[in-house]
Amino acid sequence: MSELLRVEDLRVYFYTYAGVVKAVDGVSFTVRKGEVFSIVGETGCGKSVTARAITKLIKPPGRIVGGRVLFEGRDLLKLSEKEIRRIRGKDIAYIYQDPSSSLDPLYTSGYQIAETITVHNPGTKLKNALKKAIEILRDVAIPDPVKRARNYPHELSGGMKQRVVIGISVSNKPKLIIADEPTTSLDVTVQAQVLDLLQELRKKYGTTIMLITHNLGVVAEVSDRVMVMYAGKVVEIADVYTLFTNPLHPYTRGLLSAVPNPLEKIDEIKPIPGFVPDMINIPRGCRFRPRCSYATQRCLREPPLIEVEPGHLVSCWMYTGGDE
């Protein structure tokens, strides 16, 4: 598959009264056309900040201080606000985890989809856009779409609201959908339906999906490739099968061992010891070092992200041959 998105050395810092929070610090990865690329990690590791920085959706006190974001070869970070707004919602669309905060309570679901269409397609009449909105509601499997198009968000269930948000995101047939924990606020049954829906829409519209989640079950079900983040850094990138069968980074191993296996009898779940570091006072060298049972003196230096086998990258001194 050809490359759609390339992020190089992305750095996003938040300048607070307490100090500088290096939320994203030197993140690099690529996303290929047509794949589902997942980003996983603990809360606060920089997943959502990375996703927002792609289209410059970073508000003060945050600031993108370095890096490049190449979308089809074009550096999005060099675009003006006017230029990037033509891309947001059209070529790159977002699905956020809380559909209630994503929808305007004063407008019907049909109107909110239609508005997205008219904004990015000047000259389109609202009447025609509303007809298209009904078709989109049908595509996202909402029953009686004509009626639901006239409903306000408070008249819809959580699952329906998330489907409306998905409908808004696909309304202009984007090349990339960034889904930021789209199933977090939904029950398990609806989660499965939404994941199936995203897969169906990906095939129908030929869309690439970047999925942000901390749910490894979701990752295993829908992903093609996975990137693991910890404390603002990339620690491992691999295809989904390799990541689950041969995890290399101690943090990735810790995440997987903390998930109970329903096929095995487990007396005790193994949590990762310690706590996520203070992002203002980041540990020296490898950021996972204080929690890592394999840490040695060389871990006081920051390890590079290297490719240990085709398509499998890891940032750990155990695989770089660093001196003790």
Could you give the CA distance from residue 46 to residue 154 in angstroms, rounded to a whole number? Answer: 31
Q: Which among 302, 193, 234 has a CA at the least distance from the CA of 37?
A: 234
CA-based nearest residue to 21, from 302, 299, 252, 276: 276
Residue 322 banded pLDDT, cuts 50, 70, 90: very low
Q: pLDDT tens across 111-123, in order?
A: 999 999 999 999 8
> According to the model, what pLDDT value does residue 321 have?
63
> pLDDT grade, residue 191 (50/70/90)?
confident
Lookup: tokens for 90:
């059209």
Task: Say if CB 76 and CB 55 are below 8 A apart.
Answer: yes
CATH architecture group of domain 3-91+174-319: 3-Layer(aba) Sandwich (3.40)
Instruction: At 251, give phi and psi (nearest 5°).
Output: -70, -45
Give the three-state DSSP class for 226: strand
Please count the other Cβ atoms lying within 10 Å of the Cβ belonging to residue 135.
Answer: 12
Q: List Cβ neighbours of 144 (8 Å cut-off, separation of 6 or more).
A: none
Tokens standing for residue 145: 């779409």
Q: 74 forms bridges with which residues in the sheet?
A: 71
> Is the pLDDT assigned to residue 43 strictly greater than 60?
yes
186 pLDDT above the threshold of 80: no
Q: Which residue is listed with tokens 């407008």?
A: 107
Distance CA 160, CA 141 (A): 9
Task: Kindly tell me the burial class for residue 157, based on how many C-beta atoms sit within 10 Å of its own C-beta (0-12, 13-18, 19 or more).
Answer: exposed
Give all strands (DSSP E) within 73-199, no chain letters: 74-75, 92-95, 176-180
243-288 pLDDT tens trace: 999 999 999 999 998 877 666 777 777 788 888 898 999 999 999 9
pLDDT tens string 125-171: 999 999 999 999 999 989 999 999 999 999 998 889 999 999 999 99
46 CB-near residues (< 8 Å, 6+ apart): 12, 23, 24, 25, 27, 229, 231, 232, 233
Enumerate residues 6+ apart whose C-beta is below 8 A from 278. none
